[in-house]
Structure 1
Amino acid sequence: MSRLVNIFQKKNQPVLNVYFTAGYPSLDSTLPVMEALAKNGVEIIELGMPYSDPLADGPTIQESSTKAIANGMTIATLFSQIRHCRENSYLQHTGIVLMGYMNPILQYGFERFCAEAAEAGVDGLILPDLPAFEFENAYGAIIKKYGLDFIFLVTPETTEERVRELDNLSSGFLYAVSASATTGGNTDFEKVNAYLKKLAAYQLKNPVMVGFGIKDQQSVEAVTQYTQGAIIGSAYIKVLSTATDIESATRQFIGQIRPKL
């Protein structure tokens, strides 16, 4: 059983996944941010690997990627930073997922990337520009060889047949994009919940996590009526952009989303 699967099976409340860009706000802030998130009850940390052309990301995350690249963040640097992250008591049981794009990974070497990710304690990958066909015929076997989960994305426009196909190929969880747009935009949660209710009726094999436009307690509660968890990205990046103390700012932010923690 993977760590991600174990997280969903053990939780009696919706799982919280928080995204941030590795190397942001400073090159050496990756581990402090991870520790702050885990310390304050975040079950899954989604580490964004900065890239110059992030297709799915809105302005806030794009800006953080640009800054992280300027700070000197690379895949090799990221792995050197997180290689011993599981030795941190707060991070021993936290899910860690890498989110990024194929171009820099292919330049790094796909199998080398997967091997080093697994060695560093990473649980899964989200690569929005890896098509299902390529996953099945070229890359999926390598990902599975190193025991990594792979998470596909579905949108409100994805047909039931396609949702079921991507659910079957995914492991860990299925990423339901709240709207066919980039991250950080405004979201009509009445429409989103109709879509999520439909996904719930499919009785998929993977837990469903919802992302894009999730930013506070109200939006988390709205999307977890029919799903197993929520993903927050841009709202947390904005917190980091002005934080003078990462742990304190993270505690306040998560405390507003989960007041009872």
Structure 2
Amino acid sequence: MQNNLTQLFSSKPKNLLNIFFTAGYPKLEDTTVILKALEEAKVDLVEIGIPFSDPLADGPTIQESSKIALENGMSIEKLFTQLESYREENPEADTPILLMGYLNPVMQFGLDKFCARCASVGVDGLIVPDLPMFIYEHEFKATFEKHNISNVFLVTPQTSEKRIREIDANSTGFIYAVSSASTTGSKADFSAAADYLGKLRDMDLKTPVLTGFNIKNNQNFKDACSFVDGAIIGSEFIRQIAETTDLKQTVASFVKEIKK
């Protein structure tokens, strides 16, 4: 499988920065503004959240952004339309894009139709936190592969080594290491994840590992990258863009500060 995501990981680079934001937040048409600003800031990959009314794995900051985005009128169809226009206006853009969403809306949209639209607008991978491995293997995998879409599974400190090995064998993008058993945006200190991330590093997995949930600043980013291949920042980024009057400048400054 070759897409922008697998090409990024082909050399297993280190210190990768993945920024998460919610589609349609703070305002409905901000999706492509933020995406363009992240591309220009040279983030390594971008994760766009599909707003959902019951986001079980998300903490209060992302839940609130999801609620506002839905109130703004965001939908899966609207997101695809936005991404389509983004690709038309930025044909040279090659930063890998992943969509993060829950199983129910994807199934309501139609799995094959959803994956086909992802492929047509340049989405490289999907993160579906509530997609069971068994269902993926037997019902989703062939469709993902048909449309050249990488799948990303989550692991937690409670995930067994056997399960992690199984996920490693079935991953075509990266493994998303949740640094705590809590929801995203937890206030727990990042250092609490050190033992866990060290164990993942020592397993010598074939699939790159990125960690999220608790990465808020440059020091957290450096700490994470000392164990795994990169870090994902969501809640802190959303807090930064929530009240800004200059979205592009805020995005650029945030990424520069993290990667300094």
Q: Is TM > 0.5 for Structure 1 vs Structure 2?
A: yes
Moved more, 204-213 or 179-188: 179-188
Q: Deviations over 1:65-94 (max 9, x none)?
A: 000000000000000110143345486220
CA distance in 2, matches of 1:179, 1:75: 29
TM-fit CA distance, 1:16: 0.4
Q: Which residue of 1 aligns with 2:37?
A: 36
Give a deviation string over 1:137-181, Cα, whole Å, max 9, x none: 111111111000000000011111000101111111110000011
Mapping of residues 115-126 of structure 1, within 5 Å: 115-126=116-127
- Please state whether the residue corresponding to 1:184 is helix, strand or coil: coil
Corresponding residue of 1:149: 150
Q: 1:233, 1:197 → 2: CA distance?
A: 22
Tell me how far apart the structure 2 counterparts of residues 194 and 26 of structure 1 sit (CA, whole Å).
Answer: 39
How far did 1:238 drift?
Answer: 0.6
| Aligned positions of 1:102-113 closer than 5 A | 102-113=103-114
Counterpart position of 1:232: 233
Aligned runs of 1:1-261 on 2, under 5 Å?
A: 1-9=2-10, 13-89=14-90, 92-259=93-260
> Runs (4+) of structure 1 moved beyond 2 Å?
8-13, 84-91, 187-191
User: Relative to structure 1, is the Cα distance of residues 237 and 156 closer, same or farther in structure 2, using a 3 angstrom cutoff?
Assistant: same
Contact 2:39 2:93 in 1 (8 A): no
Q: Give the Å deviation of 1:256.
A: 1.3
Q: TM-score, normalised by structure 2?
A: 0.96
Identity across aligned pairs (percent)? 46
Cα separation, partners in 2 of 1:11 and 1:34, compared to 1, 3 Å: farther
Q: Distance in 1 between matches of 2:179 and 2:154?
A: 10
How far off its partner does 1:10 sit?
5.2
**Whole-angstrom distance in 1 between the partners of 2:184 and 2:143:** 29
Over aligned residue pairs, what C-alpha RMSD do you find?
Answer: 1.4
* CA deviation map 1:18-42 (0-9, x unaligned): 0000000111110000011111121
Residue type at the aligned position of 2:168: D
Secondary structure of the 1:220 match is helix
1:94 partner letter: T
- TM-superposed CA distance for 1:2, in Å, is 2.7
* Matching residue's letter, 2:228: T
Alpha-carbon displacement from aligned partner over 1:199-255 (angstroms, at most 9, x marks no partner): 111111110000101111010011111111000000000111111111101111112
Contact persistence 1:240–1:246 (CA under 8 A): yes
Mapped to 1, the partners of 2:132 and 2:12 lie a distance apart of 31
Number of equivalences: 259
Structure 2 CA distance, aligned partners of 1:58 and 1:210?
16
Q: Mind listing any 5+ residue stretches in structure 1 that lack a counterpart?
A: none
Asked whether the 8 Å contact 1:122–1:148 carries over to 2, the reply is yes
